[in-house]
Structure 1
C-alpha cells in the first residue's frame, strides 16, 4: 500500500513523494516472537545450521505471511510458522536440486513418515487462500520487517556470513 507525503512546500508549489505504508502490524511481530519461543521452532532453527531454509529474509517473509493471513493473534500455532516458512522457500529458493531445501522442513517435522504431507499441503493451500494468494514479498518489505526490531536474534541469520 502506498500513501503520499508532502516532501516540501514553498509558496503554492508542493512536491509529493510516494511512501510505502506497512501492512505488518505490531501484533504480527508479537505473534512471530511468540512462535520463535516455541520449543519445536527453536529446535528447528538450531537444526538448520546452514540456514538453507531459515535465513533472515525467509523468516521476514514468515512475518509478512502471518500478517497477510489475517488470523487473530491467538489463532496462530507452530504449524502456521512452518507453513509460512515452506511458502517462503517455495517463492524464493531454486528447485533445481533433486531434494529441494524446503523438503528439510518435512524431514524435521515428520522424519521418514510421509503420511502427514498431504494434510500439510492442504493446510498450506488454506493458508494461501487466507492470504489472498499474495505470496510475493519484496526485499524492501523484508528489510522493513527486520527494522521493526533490529536486535531480534533471528535477523543475524545471514547466509552471506557463513563461510
Structure 2
C-alpha cells in the first residue's frame, strides 16, 4: 500500500470578537474528510462481507456509530485514492478504531472479534493483517486520535445513513 495524497488539515482563522480596532482571532480546525471519503465508506458498506459482519455484531461491541465514524476519518487520513480502498481497509480501520477506543478488560478484547470473523481459527493471515495495519497507520501519519466532535461532524454529513442508528445506548 502506498500513501498517495496529502491529508494534512488546513487551518482557518475566524474572528472571535471585534471591538473598535482590536480583534481576537481563533484558529478553527477544518475537516480533512471529503465527500469522496463518505462515498468510499458507503460503497464499502454495500460489500457483502462487510454487511454480514455488521449484521453479526448485534451487540455493537466492535461497530457502533462512533467506531464507524472513526473508520471514515481513518480512510480520509490514509490518503489513498477512492478507487484503491478495498474491504480489508474497512476492517483494518475498524480494528484501529477499536484499538484506540475500547478498554481491554475482557479475556478476549472486542477487536479480536474482527480477526475471528475474518480468519476464523486460521492464524496464517494475521501477520499479513498486522503488516497492513502498520502500513495503514504510517499512511495516516500515526494520527489515530479522533475527537467526539469529529465523529459527530462525520455523522452529520449524512444523518440518515442507517449505520448512525447503531447506538449502544439504545440496546440497554
Give the TM interval when normalised to the shorter protein. over 0.9
Task: State the match for 1:46 in structure 2.
Answer: 55
| Cα offsets for 1:47-102 (capped at 9, x unmatched) | 00000000000000000000000000000000000000000000000112110000
Ranges in structure 2 where 5+ consecutive residues have no aligned partner? 1-10
Q: Distance in 1 between matches of 2:162 and 2:36?
A: 18
Greater Cα offset, 16-25 or 52-61: 16-25
Partner-residue secondary structure (3-state), 2:14? strand
Partner-residue secondary structure (3-state), 1:137? coil
User: What RMSD, in angstroms, separates the aligned Cα atoms of the two structures?
Assistant: 1.3
Task: State the match for 2:99 in structure 1.
Answer: 90
The alpha carbon displacement at 1:10 in A equals 5.7
Q: Distance in 1 between matches of 2:138 and 2:97?
A: 15
The alpha carbon displacement at 1:113 in A equals 1.0
Ranges in structure 1 where 5+ consecutive residues have no aligned partner? none
Partner-residue secondary structure (3-state), 1:23? coil
The alpha carbon displacement at 1:3 in A equals 1.8
Q: Distance in 2 between matches of 1:151 and 1:8?
A: 35
Q: Give the alignment's TM-score, normalised by structure 2.
A: 0.89
The alpha carbon displacement at 1:111 in A equals 1.1
The alpha carbon displacement at 1:114 in A equals 1.2
Q: Give the alignment's TM-score, normalised by structure 1.
A: 0.94
| Cα offsets for 1:93-134 (capped at 9, x unmatched) | 011211000011011111111111111001101111111111
Q: Distance in 1 between matches of 2:106 and 2:20?
A: 61
